[in-house]
Chain A
């Protein structure tokens, strides 16, 4: 069977380009023909160990934009799983998956926010359109989100300048891949569909996110954010 058959929602995600701004800021850098990395950080320190790189000293504009791009994706994932756990409509291994992954994505959000400090983008408002309250729809959506996460991190690997940021991203990338494989296996799909993982550009990812329609507005830009079924979806 073809895992791609299970991905209808990839082209159905977001509606107002709330995070496109981050993309436009980073593009100038991502296209640079010559990158130079300053590794002004402690070697061997890992995000995970509680040694979150402090970008206040050495962040480049490009890295900040990349980190905010990652943060936005993590906000989306974290909110998705949190809502799924809260709605409690899942069962079996899928429920267990949602619980574990909700913790991971929340940890990614925390780490990225700490890293960015005052430069962190605000959490957008989300509308998951019922995908968190139905087992089959949740599974499909989770797979799309995780596969997209893997491609998104991979697509930025060559663009990151600071060594500590690259390390942090490299410690998150395989976790997203583990999530993707896990949910694929739960669905009896293909946990590892190819020998080499494809990457996606920021534009591709943002378009995919936009097409989901899950982003209902940027919290920072819309004081009168949508009402209704989103508990605490703002900043």
Chain B
């Protein structure tokens, strides 16, 4: 059910050289059932969470598994940010899709910046991308954007219970619904509420790191 979205390429068609698989292997460690969180959990700290996470990271205090998860997120955000930046610069989109690309390009760039700052010198480098013409064709752009945003939601959701540092959890938590908003928005642009529906299920499916990385790999978008 989760993946059967009418008219969309299956996730399994995305990345092909496993550029970021290394990150996954390294993070495989943190499957532990017993999580212990040192929390600074003041209730609505989401907006402040990134700076907090940054100060923790800069103090070298992030556990390695959190660093790996953040680098995984950063890689996905690099991909999204580059995709939208290229779409905006090519100027081939029209109407709502053009506006969507502009807004989302800014959001993804902000996510990249925040994650880079949080990771400091532990941040992975930006890969090289080849979007294969999907940024300059309206229909392909929309279809690809839906796949990327749905994947982003599933990816963040899949890591939520594996994050150990509360500030990192709140930071990821503040990005997750934004990816979901993007996904619903572009789906609505495509289908006007019908097909694909902006909110296909009552519970959003999560994906593991390996599932997401396989999907990214299958796109062939990451060239190095």
Contacts and interface: CB of A to CB of B under 8 A. Distances in A.
Interface of A: 30-41, 43-44, 46-48, 93, 96-97, 100-101, 103-104, 107-108, 111, 150-151, 154-155, 157-159, 163, 166-168, 170-182, 185-186, 190-192, 194-204
Contacts of A170: 157, 160-161, 176, 206
Given A186-B193, A192-B103, A154 B206 contact: no
A171 B107 CA distance: 22
A180 B32 CA distance: 34
Interface string B163-193: 0001001100111111111111100110011
A93 to B, nearest CB: 4
Contacts, number: 219
Interface in B194-216: 194, 197-199, 201-206, 208
Interface stretch (B16-24, B40-48, B60-68, B127-135): B40-48
Given A166-B160, A171-B205, A173-B204, 19 more contacts: A35-B166, A40-B33, A47-B203, A100-B197, A100-B199, A108-B202, A111-B203, A155-B46, A157-B173, A158-B37, A170-B176, A171-B157, A175-B202, A178-B181, A178-B199, A181-B181, A185-B184, A196-B110, A198-B46
B37 A35 contact: yes
B157 A174 contact: yes
A166 to B, nearest CB: 5
The 10 closest A-B pairs by CB, nearest first: A48-B203, A199-B46, A174-B180, A177-B177, A201-B43, A107-B202, A177-B180, A158-B41, A178-B184, A195-B110
14 contacts: A43-B31, A48-B202, A48-B203, A96-B194, A154-B174, A174-B177, A177-B180, A178-B183, A179-B198, A190-B103, A195-B107, A196-B175, A197-B175, A198-B46
Given A192-B182, A199-B170, A35 B41 contact: yes
Interface residues of B, number: 60
A157 B177 contact: no
A46 B207 CA distance: 11
A159 B41 contact: yes
Interface of B: 31-47, 50, 103-104, 106-107, 110-111, 114, 153, 157, 160-161, 166, 169-170, 173-185, 188-189, 192-194, 197-199, 201-206, 208
Contacts of A157: 160, 169-170, 173
B39 A34 contact: yes
A38 B204 CA distance: 23
A181 B160 contact: no
A158 B44 CA distance: 9
B34 A38 contact: yes
B160 A197 contact: no
Contacts of A200: 44
B46 A175 contact: no
Given A46-B206, A195-B111, A196-B110, A158 B45 contact: yes
Nearest to A173: B177
B31 to A, nearest CB: 7
A229 B35 CA distance: 48
A216 B26 CA distance: 53
Contacts of B183: 174, 178, 181
Contacts of A41: 33
B180 A181 contact: yes
B41 A30 contact: yes
A145 to B, nearest CB: 14
Contacts of A103: 202
Most buried by A among B32, B45, B202: B202
Contacts of A158: 37, 39, 41, 43, 45, 166, 169-170, 173
Contacts of B166: 35, 158
A178 B180 contact: yes
Contacts of B189: 185
